[in-house]
Amino acid sequence: MRIEVDGRFTGKFVSEKDFTGIAPEVRKAVESLRAGTGKGSSMLGWLTLPRDYDREEFARIKAAADRIRKNCDIFVVIGIGGSYLGSRAVIEFLRSPRHNELDSGSPAIYFSGCNISGSDLDELLELCSRKDKDVSINVISKSGTTTETAVDFRCFRALLEKKYGKRRAKEHIFVTTDRVRGTLKKFADEAGYETFVVPDDVGGRYSVLSAVGLLPIAVSGIDIDKLMRGARAAMRELDTDPDDFMNNPAYYYAAVRNLLLRSGKSVEVFVGYEPFELMFSEWWKQLFGESEGKDGKGLYPASVNFTTDLHSLGQYIQDGQRTLFETVLEIVKPDSRAKIPNDPANIDGLNFLSGKMLTEVNRTAMKGTLLAHEDGGVPGIVLKLADRSELSLGYMIYFFELACAVSGYLLGVNPFDQPGVEAYKKNMFALLGKPGYEDLTDKLRSRL
Amino acid sequence: MRIEVDGRFTGKFVSEKDFTGIAPEVRKAVESLRAGTGKGSSMLGWLTLPRDYDREEFARIKAAADRIRKNCDIFVVIGIGGSYLGSRAVIEFLRSPRHNELDSGSPAIYFSGCNISGSDLDELLELCSRKDKDVSINVISKSGTTTETAVDFRCFRALLEKKYGKRRAKEHIFVTTDRVRGTLKKFADEAGYETFVVPDDVGGRYSVLSAVGLLPIAVSGIDIDKLMRGARAAMRELDTDPDDFMNNPAYYYAAVRNLLLRSGKSVEVFVGYEPFELMFSEWWKQLFGESEGKDGKGLYPASVNFTTDLHSLGQYIQDGQRTLFETVLEIVKPDSRAKIPNDPANIDGLNFLSGKMLTEVNRTAMKGTLLAHEDGGVPGIVLKLADRSELSLGYMIYFFELACAVSGYLLGVNPFDQPGVEAYKKNMFALLGKPGYEDLTDKLRSRL
């Protein structure tokens, strides 16, 4: 398996007995997930996606990505939530958070339509309107009516039609939306934009391995065949007898984090030791926060990047309120060969490290921190990922999706809906005077 | 005042009576801070820094920054924790998170020495070793022995000496360290590097308005005179009678967040609505997490960036465990003029927004969200910042430093130490076999 879970640093906080106690619940959760009898079971497409994905569309994604890589300097992804977090997380994890600044031979990739920031939009439009820049966009929205995404799509469509003229602009616009329904699909077909599908049975936060994530990922030059193969391996290897859940990393992770929640921990901190893991932890936060944060339940998903944040939130984690546990991502075979040079002057007193690989020192920092935090009353779950590769990342994505679904069922919620996301939209529309919201408008205005 | 605090959305959660109850504590906290009789009172230099800073050094900072801006394509800041978070937060807030990708006429600024990531170091060394790139570095370390920073300083010093030769390299190396003590100061003087001072009575997380933050900030082209003037205004305006704390934004913020903690909230979520606020929320997390997270106490400082994260953590905040409150940053006069274009096709049904400014829609999203979260049981403290300017940001930095000190005293901790940060370092050194740690080494190894 490309992921193993090391629970040693939770031993002082959850007991054999706890695991025996939760075993029947794990079986029930896994069975209802596999049988499709649990809550939200109409949204289980992700469960078999790595095997059953549409090969014809997959080929079109690769072809489109090749054209974009050949013809464009800038590629703008327009989407929010699940329509951008997954692809951005994968691109930064496998390429770099500095992808756009390194000569990677790929187009610069920007993410738009994921906020209502005028200054952010001003910058991107300025960058894209430069004469010497060829630009393509990929708008991603199931309905086509998501405010943030729709607003920026209006702006970038106008920019492209100004740059290339209406007729040629359509070769620069790629639309990922509903297969048949929705105004965006209809409009795209009429306008002659190439379209890709947001599957009906895959929720946004589970959609990174569909066209939603795959087109931007392929544009960055990442091998999406390998990514899917990794996920397929996870799909196969992680489908084991739930009674043996201690040996299934996904089931075990779901169980132990629920046991820690029941023991009084309320915040799960996702810990990375590499800057390229930062956006992946944002994807993880959406996956677990949106799947489990309902009915007054759920662990609050936070994240840190060490050792940076050991000089920031480290003090709190070591000595603050004892309501935390950590989930630590360890990359077993890191890809850097950088060594610490010797310094004859030894002004920093670090010559005992001369010649050591940074990756070794980084791993030692991780071990020392796990021990320190355990002593401080903070349990640590260690996820050991084989390496920084397409195969391993595809595997880890599926691992977390599966673990999250099982964990949500253990918690007793529907891990596949997000009713709470509507609340702010309704208020926003009412306050903006959207037709049909008049009653609410007055109620809200009176409270402001 | 350039900051006002709006507590309306906490009204359902804290009462008049609560404020009356905490009033004597606020007076005591403020008095011991002002009189220098509280815990950690040897570290109060930040309190008067905006007025009493060293003018001669300030002029040298501006002169050095001008030279660097003229002579360099890349400026690498080498520091960790308080030695990089402040300057990076200010640069992204006033310039842009994409500062390096926009033609700003400033050198690209990279932050190194803030992790032990080999892949991160590989990238930066590759970027800096390019023949056509002129590079200067600023290493920032009080002692000069901080592992992360010292390791990267070794690597970049070697790179510069290879690029320019030992003699010319010294014009590209700027050292911010202890005024007199420490091996780094001694070494820098011998090598002929220009040095700047990490003040003795200002802790790392309070040091952004010292040379620690000011040199990198000045290199980015930001007007540091205005930044200091803003902080000076805050220093003057926020020094009011503590009995009138309801009218002092800093004292009031300190009081209300402590009342919310006492009412059972354990996580404070810092909320921004602009991507350029992301790094500022990281600075805020260090300031409060490291100042208050001790003795088993303190609010866990988390952050989100809306509306992006309304499509991620929004569900949790609306409906999850009711242990949260939000501190929301509103910029009263935003700087963007971007408008929502009309779309005759109206495929997204958003023509009711045509012609509206994005900043107006963004603010309305903020109001709608505050109301939705209040209904969901999440109190919101709104900080109204006048605008996105040096003056306002300098003001806000001082506001938070003052509020944090008072808040820490209300909590009953020493807001100026960070004993917990040593724990991981000791373990790391022991596991790396640093001379002098032999006993601990065996103890730890046996646990792994």
pLDDT at A416: 98
E strand or H helix that includes residue B391:
helix B390-411
In a domain, B408, yes or no: yes
CB distance B317 to A293 below 8 Å? yes
DSSP string, B57-82: HHHHHHHHHHHHHHH-SEEEEE--GG
Judge whether B406 and B33 are in contact, CB under 8 Å. Answer: yes
Q: Is B135 helix (H, G, I), strand (E, B) or coil?
A: strand
Structure tokens at B274: 């602009």
- Say if CB A216 and CB A87 are below 8 A apart: yes
Residues B13 and B101 in one domain: no
Catalytic member of B166, B297, B356, B425: B425
Q: Is A99 a catalytic residue?
A: no
Phi, psi of A202, rounded to the nearest 5 degrees:
-130, 115
* Percentage of chain B lying above the pLDDT 90 cut: 98
CA distance A280 to A88: 8
* Residue A54 DSSP symbol: -
Q: Structure tokens of B223?
A: 């007007």
With CB atoms and an 8 Å threshold, state whether B432 touches A361: yes
Query: What is the reported pLDDT for B239?
Result: 98
- With a CB cutoff of 8 Å and minimum separation 6, the contacts of B180 are none
CA atoms within 13 A on the CB side of A389: 16
Looking at the fold, whether A312 and A323 belong to one and the same domain comes out as yes
As for how many domains chain B has, the answer is 2
Q: Are residues A72 and A178 in the same domain?
A: yes
Q: What is the CATH number of the domain that holds B124?
A: 3.40.50.10490
Q: Is the Cα torsion angle A247, A248, A253, A258 positive or negative in sign? A: negative
B93 within domain boundaries: yes
Would A102 be classed as within a structural domain? yes
Searching chain A, which residue's CA lies closest to the CA of residue B431? A364
Task: Report chain A residues whose CB lies below 8 A from the CB of B297.
Answer: 320-321
E runs forming strands in B306-448: 324-333, 380-387
Q: Are residues A334 and A376 in the same domain?
A: yes
Domain shared by B309 and B392, yes or no: yes
Please compute, for residue A296, the number of CA atoms within 13 A of its CA located in the half-sphere on the CB side: 2
Looking at B25, B277, B290, B326, which residue is catalytic? Answer: B290
Instruction: Confirm whether A316 is domain-assigned.
Output: yes
CB contact under 8 A, A320 and B292: yes
Question: What's the token pair of residue B152?
Answer: 């990267």
Residue A181 sits in which domain range?
Answer: 49-225
Secondary structure (DSSP) of B78-120: E--GGGTHHHHHHHHHHT-TTTTTS--SSPEEEEESSS--HHH
Is B432 contained in some domain? no
Q: Residue A104 has what pLDDT?
A: 76
Residues B93, B18 share a domain: no
Report phi then psi at B121, rounded to 5: -65, -45
- Judge residue B70's burial from the number of C-beta atoms within 10 Å of its C-beta, 0-12 exposed, 13-18 middle, 19 or more buried: exposed
Task: Look up A425 and say whether it is catalytic.
Answer: yes
Of the listed A12, A367, A425, A426, which one is catalytic?
A425
CA distances from A230 to A211, A221, A223, B86, B411 (A): 17, 17, 11, 40, 49
Residue A65's nearest CA partner among A198, A226, A224, A276 is A224
Question: Per-residue pLDDT tens for B166-203?
Answer: 999 999 999 999 999 988 999 999 999 999 999 999 99
pTM summary value = 0.98
pLDDT at B213 over 80: yes
The most distant pair of C-alpha atoms in chain A lies apart, rounded to whole Å, by 76
Instruction: Judge: B145–A98 Cβ closer than 8 Å, yes or no.
Output: no
Residue in chain B closest to A127 (alpha carbons) equals: B102
- Which of B225, B245, B276 is at the close of a domain? B225
pLDDT for the residue A270: 98
Is the domain of A369 the same as that of A241?
yes
Place B132 in a pLDDT band, splitting at 50, 70 and 90.
very high
**If you average pLDDT over every residue of chain B, what do you get?**
97
Asked if residue A139 belongs to a domain, the reply is yes
**Any domain includes B146:** yes
Task: Centre a 10 Å sphere on the Cβ of residue A345 and count the other Cβ atoms it contains.
Answer: 12
β-pairing, B135-140 vs B173-177, is parallel
User: Distance (Å, rounded) from C-alpha B384 to C-alpha B382?
Assistant: 6
Considering only CB atoms, A315 lies closest to which of B154, B420, B431, namely B420
Q: List the one residue out of A89, A35, A432 whose CA is nearest residue A281.
A: A89
Of the partner residues A122, A289, A375, the one whose CB lies closest to the CB of residue B315: A289
CA distance linking residue B141 with residue B133, whole number of Å: 25
Decide if pLDDT at B104 tops 90: no
Tell me, yes or no, whether B170 and B181 share the same domain.
Answer: yes
User: For chain B, what is the total number of helices (H) and then of strands (E)?
Assistant: 16, 10
Q: Which of A82, A297, A338 sits opposite B122 (nearest CB)?
A: A338
Q: Where are the beta strands (DSSP E) in A334-402?
A: 380-387
Dihedral angle computed from the Cα positions of residues B186, B48, B43 and A373, in that order, rounded to the nearest 10 degrees = -100
Tell me the pLDDT tens digit for each residue of B328-348. 999 999 999 999 999 998 999
- The C-alpha atoms of residue B147 and residue B155 are separated, in whole angstroms, by 13
Contact B365 A428 (CB under 8 A): yes
Query: CA nearest A375 in B: which residue?
Result: B423
Cβ atoms within 10 Å of B322's Cβ, excluding its own: 12
CB A366 within 8 A of CB A372: no
Chain A hits for B82, CB-CB cut-off 8 Å, are 311
* Residue that has been written with the tokens 């920054």 in this structure: B65
Assess whether B290 carries a catalytic annotation: yes
* Residue B382 contacts residue B370 (beta carbons within 8 Å): yes
Q: Facing residues of B173 across strands?
A: B137
Q: Is residue A215 part of a domain?
A: yes
Contact B289 A306 (CB under 8 A): no
Helix (H, G, I), strand (E, B) or coil at B328: strand
What pLDDT is stored for residue B103 in this prediction? 76
Write down which residue in A183, A202, A225 finishes a domain: A225
pLDDT of residue B440: 95
- Tell me which of A184, A200, A225 is where a domain ends: A225
Find which of A101, A347, A360, A411 to mutate to test the B interface (most B CBs within 10 Å of its CB): A347
Phi, psi for residue A141 in degrees, rounded to 5? -160, 125
Q: What is the DSSP secondary structure assignment for residue A303, as one 8-state letter? A: E
Cβ proximity of A212 and A140 under 8 Å: yes
Taking the C-alpha atoms of residue B448 and residue B441, their distance in angstroms, rounded to an integer, is: 11
Same-domain pairing of A23 and A115: no
- Structure ipTM: 0.97
Confidence bin at B376 (pLDDT 50/70/90): very high
How many angstroms separate the Cα of B93 from the Cα of each of A235, B201, B336, B394? 43, 27, 14, 11
Residue B221, phi-psi category: left (phi > 0), alpha (psi -120 to 50), beta (remainder): left
Q: Classify strands B173-177 and B194-197 as parallel, antiparallel or unpaired.
A: parallel
Verify that B271 and B407 share a domain, yes or no. yes
Is the pLDDT at B326 greater than 90, yes or no?
yes
Which residue, A379, A341, A378, A371, is CA-closest to A358? A341
Q: What is the pLDDT of residue A105?
A: 87
Same domain, B88 and B185: yes
List per-residue pLDDT tens for chain A, 448 residues long. 999 999 999 999 999 999 999 999 999 999 999 999 999 999 999 999 999 999 999 999 999 999 999 999 999 999 999 999 999 999 999 999 999 999 778 999 999 999 999 999 999 999 999 999 999 999 999 999 999 999 999 999 999 999 999 999 999 999 999 999 988 999 999 999 999 999 999 999 999 999 999 999 999 999 999 999 999 999 999 999 999 999 999 999 999 999 999 999 999 999 999 999 999 999 999 999 999 999 999 999 999 999 999 999 999 999 999 999 999 999 999 999 999 999 998 999 999 999 999 999 999 999 999 999 999 999 999 999 999 999 999 999 999 999 999 999 999 999 999 999 999 999 999 999 999 999 999 999 999 9
Q: What is the pLDDT of residue B139?
A: 98
Inter-chain contact A435–B352, Cβ cutoff 8 Å? yes
Residue B277 pLDDT level (bands cut at 50, 70, 90): very high
B373 and B358 in a common domain: yes
- State the pLDDT at residue A75: 98
